[in-house]
């Protein structure tokens, strides 16, 4: 199997990895605190995909006991990721609340300006 076929056959993983790297890059590269949180969210979301993709089996149905079907998709990753989504939402909410408080205290949400203001005071 050529490299191209491997990549195309796993295009969903390629997208996941792209989102993962893009999210992490935004967190590192952006100086704006809200944008950092957006990057963090993208990074976390890519992990949801990483869990859910392998659970899907081609031709599999929903996991309901029925003599007519014998191939099921794995439901466990969905349950795990429901929990992870809750954690992700809580993190984002807390992060945004902190940014709002930082904006009140410093009058800006750009990291460079905040460091400058702390150095002045």
Partner 1 sequence: MTAVQPHLPVLQVVIPLLGALLAGLLRRGTSGFALALAVSWLMPLIAVALLCQVLTGGPISYHLGGWPPPWGIEYRVDALNGFVLVLVSTIGAVGMPFSYRSVALELEPRQQAWFYCMYLLCLTGLLGITVTGDAFNAFVFLEISSLSTYVMIALGRDRRALLSSYQYLIMGTIGATFYIIGVGFIYLLTGSLNMVDISARLGAAWASQPSAVIAALAFVTVGLSLKLALFPLHVWLPNAYAYAPSFTTVFLSATATKVTIYLLIRYYFTIFGVSIDFRALPITEVIVVLSLAAMFIASLVAVFEQNVKRMLAYSSVAQIGYITLGIGLADQAGLTGGLVHIVNHALMKAALFMSMGAVFYRVGTVNLKDLAGIGRKMPITMAAFTVAGFGLIGTPGTSGFISKWYLALGAFERGWWWLVFLIVASSLIAVVYVGRVLEVAWRREPSPAIAEASDPPLTMLVPIVLLAAATVYFGFFTEWTAGVAGTVAKTLIGGLK
Residue ranges binding partner 1 (CB under 8 A) = 24, 27, 33, 36-37, 40, 43-44, 47, 50-51, 54, 77, 80, 83-84, 87, 90-91, 94-95, 98-99, 101-102, 105-106, 114, 118
For 10, phi then psi, to 5°, come to -115, 40
Distances (CA, A) of 90 to 42, 47, 107: 15, 16, 25
Cβ distance to partner 1 smaller for residue 50 or 67: 50
CB of 98 to partner 1, least distance (A): 5
Q: Residue 113 has which token pair?
A: 């300006």
In this structure, the dihedral spanned by the alpha carbons of residues 69, 72, 75 and 77, taken in order and rounded to 10 degrees, is 180
Cβ distance to partner 1 smaller for residue 48 or 69: 48
Closest CA to 108 of 19, 34, 51: 34
CB of 8 to partner 1, least distance (A): 21
Cβ distance to partner 1 smaller for residue 22 or 99: 99
For 70, phi then psi, to 5°, come to -125, -10
* Residues paired with residue 110 on neighbouring β-strands, in sequence order: 32
Cβ distance to partner 1 smaller for residue 68 or 71: 71
CB of 9 to partner 1, least distance (A): 17
CB of 22 to partner 1, least distance (A): 14
């Amino acid at each position: 199997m050529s490299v191209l076929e491997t990549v195309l056959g796993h295009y969903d993983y390629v997208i996941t990895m792209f989102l993962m790297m893009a999210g992490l890059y935004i967190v590192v590269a952006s100086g704006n605190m809200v944008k950092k949180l957006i990057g963090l969210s993208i990074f976390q979301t890519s992990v949801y995909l990483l869990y859910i993709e392998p659970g899907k089996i081609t031709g599999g149905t929903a996991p309901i006991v029925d003599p007519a079907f014998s191939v099921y998709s794995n439901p466990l990753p969905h349950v795990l990721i429901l929990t992870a989504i809750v954690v992700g939402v809580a993190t984002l909410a807390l992060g945004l609340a902190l940014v709002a408080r930082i904006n009140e205290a410093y009058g800006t949400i750009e990291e460079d300006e905040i460091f400058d203001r702390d150095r002045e005071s």
